[in-house]
Structure 1
Amino acid sequence: MEEQTSPLCRLNMLHNAGTMLQKTLFLILAGGREGLAKKSSRKPQSPRCQWTPRGCIKRSASGKAGKRPEPDTRVLRSTILAAVFSLGVLFLVSRGALGRETRQPVLDLDGRQLNSGARYYMVPIQKDRLRGFFSGSRNGTWCPMYVKQAPPAFSDGILVNFAPVDGAKTVRLSTDLNIEFYESNTCPEKPVWTLAPVDKVSGQRFVRLGGMVGNPGPATTNNWFKIEKDGDNYKLVFCPGVCETCRQEDAVCGDLGVYRDVYDRWLVLGGRPLTVKFKRFRR
């Protein structure tokens, strides 16, 4: 996959493409004016030269027009190709830069935009799911940890950070991002959310820790989530768009819901969407 660029880099590319297009069009217009000026300053036709729209055609000794010289169109052709190329670059860069900006920002409980440098509590709003997110072990093993709803003593759960794939400061809807617990992890895995393979016992795909931040591509597709609108609130979605080379049949998309066993409520792919709000952490 091609390397992701920052918004500032994309704007610089857009500016450079516009400048290139402006210079190219100026050269075309300047060349046209220069040609008209030369044509208007030409001397009156002589018996040995007949002026035509394609240039001067020399007459033979008999007075008949000789063979027309082939005009040199290489400069004009190169100029036109440069203009077409500049238009293409301008279109592609502006499409990428402006397309991301049209996505609405995600807002917290105070109506402020989510910031990738801040920490938040993700609090579900359903009456039976009012607790935030926590980490816990399952299947009789301590590591890796899995994401579950917090116990009653920790109703807000653990703080999280968001890292959008494009490196933007503002977290926006429908944008691939990493979610990371802001905690000291006792396991060797990083506290970054990732979607685990299908569990053989339950048939569920649990969200666990052990992902990594950044490095979008085929090897990291399970680490990317999205935030989507759900009425006046939000929901978490797994539908990574960071792998353009992956096979279509391997693509998996769905809302994140809750799977309940005899021990806890675990975050999984599928089921009833878990609707959340974001509460910014204040010291």
Structure 2
Amino acid sequence: MKSSLLTLTFLVVFLSFLPNSLLGASEPLYDINGDEVITGTEYYIVSAIRGGGGGGLNLFSGRNERCPMDVFQHRSDLQRGSPMMFFPVNYNGEKGAVVRASTDMNIQFNVQPDACSQHSTVWKVDNYDEKGGAWFITTNGVIGNPGSKTIHNWFKFEKVGTDLNAYKIVHCPSVCDSCVTLCSDVGINYGTQRRLALSSDSQKPFMLMKVSDVQKYMGRFNAVI
């Protein structure tokens, strides 16, 4: 009996020192400063490509009506966009919990335009737009409730390269085993506005910048909203 308890105790201690990758957990999502991205904190999503890569992400009037608003990218890297927060699929309301890469999450602009106060600012994939020829990223999604009714509300950040904390945004939800899902990178649709849309032939790298850290990087991102 004592031998079994000692073995169990050793196993628990051993597992506690194993890296997350061996335990089945993906690595943390990191911001531009190399810090872990955490819940309850505001971040900008900005282009990882300087110069011609465009700027940060923001809200813009919908294609058919003003609301709900679509997600678009500023043309200039001097514009960082609007702050956002991330809600992992297992989010329980705790602030300071680590957000992980390659894991389903909801993305929410932490702003609420007066003109669209009746709509949420949570990202979702819109219905297919035949005129635009794309599945655009819009808003008015919901946080949580993973399943068939929220299948279009889930996104992931997946690492791009090995040197920088750069990620591509992916819509490939795994919150519903029985659902037929779209599975694609999120790119830029270069129409009259740089709207985000699902794209199988473009990989758009982004980086995350903590809003409270912006002053530290004014030399690199001398940004205006």
Same fold (TM over 0.5): yes
CA deviation profile, 1:116-171 (whole Å, cap 9, x unmatched) = 11000010122322310011114352111100012649700010000001127111
Residues 1:238 and 2:171 are matched in the alignment: yes
Partner of 1:216: 146
Number of the residue aligned with 1:125: 48
CA RMSD of aligned residues (A): 2.4
Distance in 1 separating the partners of 2:52 and 2:184:
21
1:253 to 160, 171, 183: 183
Equivalent in the alignment of 2:103:
175
Tell whether the 8 Å contact from 2:120 to 2:142 is kept in structure 1 after alignment.
yes
Go from structure 1 to structure 2 and tell me whether the alpha carbon gap of 1:134 and 1:178 turns closer, same or farther (over 3 Å shift): same
Query: In structure 2, how many angstroms separate the alpha carbons of the residues matched to 1:143 and 1:194?
Result: 13
Q: Is the 8 A contact 2:58 2:73 kept in 1?
A: yes
Q: Percent identity?
A: 32
In 2, the alpha carbon distance for the partners of 1:227 and 1:153 equals 20
Amino acid across the alignment from 1:117:
G
1:101 and 1:110, CA in 2 relative to 1: closer, same or farther beyond 3 A? Answer: farther
Measured in 2, the distance between the counterparts of 1:163 and 1:259 equals 26
Counterpart residue number, 1:192: 122
Question: Which aligned runs of 4 or more in structure 1 are off by greater than 2 angstroms?
Answer: 97-102, 150-154
Aligned residue identity for 1:171: V
Report the secondary structure of 1:141's partner residue. Answer: coil
Question: Which AA in structure 2 matches 1:131?
Answer: G
TM-score using structure 2 length: 0.76
Relative to structure 1, the CA distance from residue 238 to residue 99 in structure 2 (aligned partners, 3 Å threshold; closer, same or farther) is: farther
Larger Rg: 1
> Higher relative contact order at CA 8 Å, sep ≥6: structure 1 or structure 2?
2
Alignment match, 1:156: 80
2:131 alignment partner, SS class: coil
In 2, Cα distance between equivalents of 1:154 and 1:209: 24
Which runs of 5 or more structure 1 residues have no equivalent in the other structure? 1-21, 27-96
Tell me what 1:165 maps to: 89
Q: Relative to total residues, which structure has the larger helix share, 1 or 2? A: 1
CA drift at 1:244: 1.6
Q: 1:98 to 1:229 in 2, by over 3 A?
A: closer
- Normalization by structure 1: what TM-score? 0.61
Shift of 1:200: 1.5
User: Separation in 1 of the partners of 2:203 and 2:171?
Assistant: 11
Listed as ranges, the gaps of 5+ residues in structure 2 are 6-19, 214-225
Find the counterpart in structure 2 of residue 113 from structure 1.
36
2:136 partner SS: strand
Residue 201 of structure 1 is aligned with which of 131, 134, 138? 131
Say whether residues 1:142 and 2:66 are aligned partners: yes
Shift of 1:101: 5.9
Taking a change above 3 Å as real, the CA distance of residues 98 and 129 of structure 1, as seen in their structure-2 partners, is closer
